[in-house]
Amino acid sequence: METRSLGTSDIQMTPVILGTWQADTGGWRGVDESELVRAIRDAVEAGITTIDTAEVYASGRSEQLIAEAVSDLRDRVVYASKVFADHLKYDQVLAACDRSLKRLKTDYIDLYQIHWPSGAFNSEIVPIGETMDALNTLKEKGKIRAIGVSNFSRSQMEEAARYGRIDSLQPPYSLFWRDVERETMPYCVENNISILAYSSLAQGLLTGKFGPDHQFQEGDHRNKNKLFQNPDHYRRVQEALDRLRPIAAEKGCTLAQLSLAWLIARPRTHAIAGARNSSQVEQNVKAAEVRLSPEDLENIDRIGRIVTDHLEEDYPIMWNFG
């Protein structure tokens, strides 16, 4: 699979990135660890050599599973991990990174990201300058190679950039969730910042496997997803999927592959796609092979707006966790 530069760094990342949030079985149902380890290994062997994780995913278990799967292939893999909002003081950042390094069985993390801005989830407010000082220290020591942020607004990114180089933003972004395009994507394009889109399949909606009457198991965090919760949004989702199906059929691909192909064609954008098993990995790899013309991209864009044009004016957060 082709690779692209991460921001202005010399790190090369695949356009499709393997996400590992699904290791957190507290928020996902039906995930088998042994299958997930095989999926991670198979992803790298198939060409998806960038893996995204976080210290908070299954309380570090996600990072351990990555090490179990591919630590012997470390020179072929790009690791992206994150420090959570409750560990943003200077010493906390350093300690959190050391714990992640230990779990990942590596002496460096390619991309280390602030998972959520200070204050999120009732965390203590920490000046961004203090957090960035810690990240710059880690970079100087060679423990991380690049700094990124996740779930930041444009103004929060601008403030962080006063204290050091930001090479990536990780926002929720898909054909059905496009708030990042309003203000933040133009800033990223102007400043050579890569966009690593999470929930790139709208948490499974863009696979087309959830019909009008689908019900998730109790405890599945998608029960709090605004696109699933609101009956009007969900009805429009089904309408859009029906219009996308003929395009996917024409291209000889699945709805998921079509959606990922559209996303990685967006400016400076990579798509983080999770996989529970090797079969899903194989499907995600094929997304990078789908070729879309400018007319295809415009048509898909219009269809996606059946959903996004009816979302609230400012909709950066996908869930109603409160």
The helix/strand/coil state of 166 is coil
> Cα separation of 198 and 178, whole Å?
11
> Cα separation of 253 and 299, whole Å?
16
The CB density around residue 1, as the number of other CB atoms within 10 Å, is: 14
The per-residue DSSP string of 230-251 comes to -HHHHHHHHHHHHHHHHHHHHH
> Cα separation of 14 and 269, whole Å?
10
- Closest by CA to 182, choosing from 271, 319, 314, is 314
DSSP 125: P
> Cα separation of 318 and 213, whole Å?
21
Question: Is 108 labeled as catalytic in the residue annotation?
Answer: no
Helical residues (DSSP H) of the chain, grouped into ranges: 33-46, 61-70, 90-104, 128-140, 154-161, 184-190, 226-229, 231-251, 255-264, 278-287, 294-308
Instruction: Give the side-chain half-sphere CA count within 13 A for 253.
Output: 25
Active-site residue among 57, 112, 198, 234? 57
Residues forming the active site: 57
